[in-house]
Chain A
Amino acid sequence: MLRIDPEYKKKLIDPLFAPLDLNFKLSAGVLLALIGWGALLYFRQIFLGLGVTGMGRPVYWSMYIVNFIFFIGISHAGTLISAILRVTGAEWRRPITRVAEAITVFALIIGSMQILIDMGRIDRLPFTVIFGRLQSPIMWDIISVTLYLLGSVTYLFLPLMPDLAIIRDNLPPGVPEWRRKFYTILSLGWRGTKAQWVRLEKAIAFMAVFIIPVAVSVHSIISWILASTLQPGWHSTIFGPYFVIGAIFSGIGALFIAMTAVRKVFGLEKYIALKQYRYLGLLFIAMNAIWFYFTFAENLGIATGQQTYEMPILAVKLWGEFAPTFWLMIACMAVAFYILVVPPMLKQQTAQRTFVFQPRFARMSAIVAAVLVGLLVVPNLVNVPFLAVSGTTVAATVLWILLILNVLGFLLSVSQWLKANPVTSIVIASALVVVGMWLERWNIVLPTVTHPMLVSSSTYTPSLTEISIMVASISGFMLMFMIFFKLFPPISIWELAEGNIIEQAQSRVVIPQPEISGD
């Protein structure tokens, strides 16, 4: 019989057995409907063929591949936080490892599904095993993703085992029989003996070290699928590290959003505290900076080399048809960087009196910025005679400068509010990063496939099927998350308790005063 702190029981175990509330049922219903619709369109795609997508020649790869890279990227949240922080013994990781590991598993499941959805002949999937050629980067991908999925599930399950045993021994009265059986079977006879603990710690330590290179290999190989072709814009050595950094970056963003959701739903403010946000936030800032560095480095060589087939790819990103998504991506990342770095550095008292920090200024700059966006966008969409002037180069330049100044003004004016609400501001930054990273994948895949060397340039618009399947994928990810945290505790109970013991032991250590020498 394993014991548990009554407070942990109340916060972490009892909610698992609370009856499903209306919010849960409603959101699960909506998500299920979206998944159903996506599944329906997918089956239609199987029978009719990939013609139901927006793809053609030369756009042979598009949104499914973008989503594949994106979701596998998100899955890097778990490895990084859990494995690296466990290996380095960072104590503050304890309350967030469970959420991080869960993200990994779910994002991997959804991510690998994208590649299956993209296959023209799903019925021939066994051929990859029967006739698999190790020379093909797709085979490397199948092997590393499978290994990563198995490793992640193991890595999620190992630290879960003692918690499952704790739940098994502390079930509230009147629990349905299947849940009793569920926890009994899954806890695999865990009794918390010393031998079991030693074995578990050994296994976790091994898995933590093992999974880091596997995770790095996964996103490197995905980048090599692109980089191993001759296609302009892809045939680059920087892709491996660039993709890994991007994956970790988007993973941390997803983790912030997920852990804030868990924190709010379960009321875990005491455990997932500001400390976790601050420390992980530092890592987030570092990744943001490295991401900017890599993005610059990736494009610099193309810009200075000006090669026949490479340069047009960069040109469409900088000022061609992919400029909106490219600059939106840059804007997302830059604003996220601002939100993470600037507000925490401000002084609170002096700022209150300054004009730029007043809500009036925020409202004003937001309205002006919205008007400027309107002036810039509307002439491109409809022909309004008196707005045509803003389409000219000089006017557009002035409008863009004014817009940037106004956005900066707005960001400055809300800085005090952001400083006062650190959790909300980090979630905003995370959302921007997750959107920005999806756009980054789009900006890597699409400009190259639409601008090949010996086929005339093409365009791509996703079809209803592709959009529905993307929505269904995101819904599936969220639903798995919701169901998981209805069955398993959102925080690793035993690791939290272990952390408390370590902290108490450390606080009892008396640090001797330095001796003052006689002479």
Chain B
Amino acid sequence: MPKWSMVIDLDKCVACQGCSIACRFENNTPVVAPDQAKLGRAMRWNDVFPLPVNPTEETGEYPHVKAQYVPRPCMHCENPPCIKVCPVGATFIDEEGIVEQNYARCIGCRFCTVGCPYGVRYFNWYEPQWETPLAEHLNPDRVEGQGVLEGPAVRPLGVVEKCTFCIHRLKKAHAQAEAEGRDFRADEYVPACVQTCTGKARFFGDLEDPDSTVSQLALKPRSFRLLEDGGTHPKTIYLREG
């Protein structure tokens, strides 16, 4: 079984936020009005934000200022704090290491959103809405089943959603390999953000395979993980700038 992992090279990232946009269209993330965004209700499964998150004097004084931006998908932790606290198993880690979210199961208690130290989880405060041209071009892909609703499927009111490493793409790739009667290869699938990345800063692959790009990059001295001392063991790995 592959263990899916993403490596983001901060040296190559130009903070264009193309990943955020690609994610939004791939995963049907609801759009909110500016007044709602002010209340912190904007949804960005793949957020790009400055680090430190609250710029203070420590980031320097003009002209010696330094701005660092971090693109942030879900960390897909190997020890995810979010799934431990879910009372109903609406969020869970699958055998390929992806932390999934089942909209049909979520009761909206928001313990996972509070429990996630990375803030990758979003809540549907209102029923998702799109304006006319957008509403006509939603991604039809969805992961569906008995009591299961995942991926880009339009979310119901009052549930939590998050980055799934484009789980629908993975399912499609698996289905295709099965239909063609061959083994699935780890290079058959990448999430939308990796595909779109302007600076080619994102790498995606199987962490179990020691020869894969992500495994090789993860060994670099530049590699680090967000909140490493939290014991969450993220599978989204960063390469330090400089």
Contacts and interface: CB of A to CB of B under 8 A. Distances in A.
A49 B126 contact: yes
B184 interface: no
A57 B72 CA distance: 15
A194 interface: no
A60 B107 contact: no
Contacts of A132: 87-88
A350 to B, nearest CB: 57
A60 B85 contact: no
Contacts of A48: 126
A499 interface: no
Interface string A56-83: 1111110000000000000000000000
A119 B107 contact: yes
Interface string A122-162: 00110110011101111100100000000000000000000
Contact of B123 (A60, A124, A453): A60
Interface stretch (B20-28, B109-117, B204-212): B109-117
B153 interface: no
A60 B113 contact: yes
Interface stretch (B33-41, B163-171, B185-193, B216-224): B33-41
Given A51-B41, A58-B119, A136 B86 contact: yes
A40 interface: no
A138 B109 contact: yes
Contacts of A452: 117, 119
B54 A456 contact: yes
A205 to B, nearest CB: 35
A213 interface: no
Given A121-B159, A229-B115, A57 B123 contact: yes
Interface string A447-468: 0010011111110000000000
Choose among B84, B87, B109, B157 the residue with the greatest number of A CB atoms under 10 Å from its CB: B87
B215 to A, nearest CB: 25
Contacts of B159: 120-121
B161 to A, nearest CB: 11
A49 B124 contact: yes
B81 interface: yes
Contacts of A115: 109
B234 to A, nearest CB: 12
Interface in B212-239: 226-227, 230, 232
Interface in B104-158: 105-111, 113-115, 117-119, 122-127, 156-158
Nearest to A61: B114
Contacts of A133: 86-89
Given A54-B39, A128-B88, A230-B230, A120 B117 contact: no
B119 A454 contact: yes
Nearest to A130: B88
Interface string A96-135: 0000000000000000000100111100110110011101
B114 A50 contact: no
B227 A454 contact: yes
A283 interface: no
A225 interface: yes
Contacts of A53: 125
A293 to B, nearest CB: 28
Contact of A230 (B89, B106, B117): B117
B119 to A, nearest CB: 4
A449 B113 CA distance: 10
Interface of B: 36, 39-42, 49, 53-54, 72, 81, 84-89, 105-111, 113-115, 117-119, 122-127, 156-160, 226-227, 230, 232
5 contacts: A50-B123, A51-B126, A61-B114, A231-B114, A231-B117
The 8 closest A-B pairs by CB, nearest first: A120-B108, A56-B40, A120-B158, A51-B125, A455-B119, A138-B87, A56-B39, A51-B126
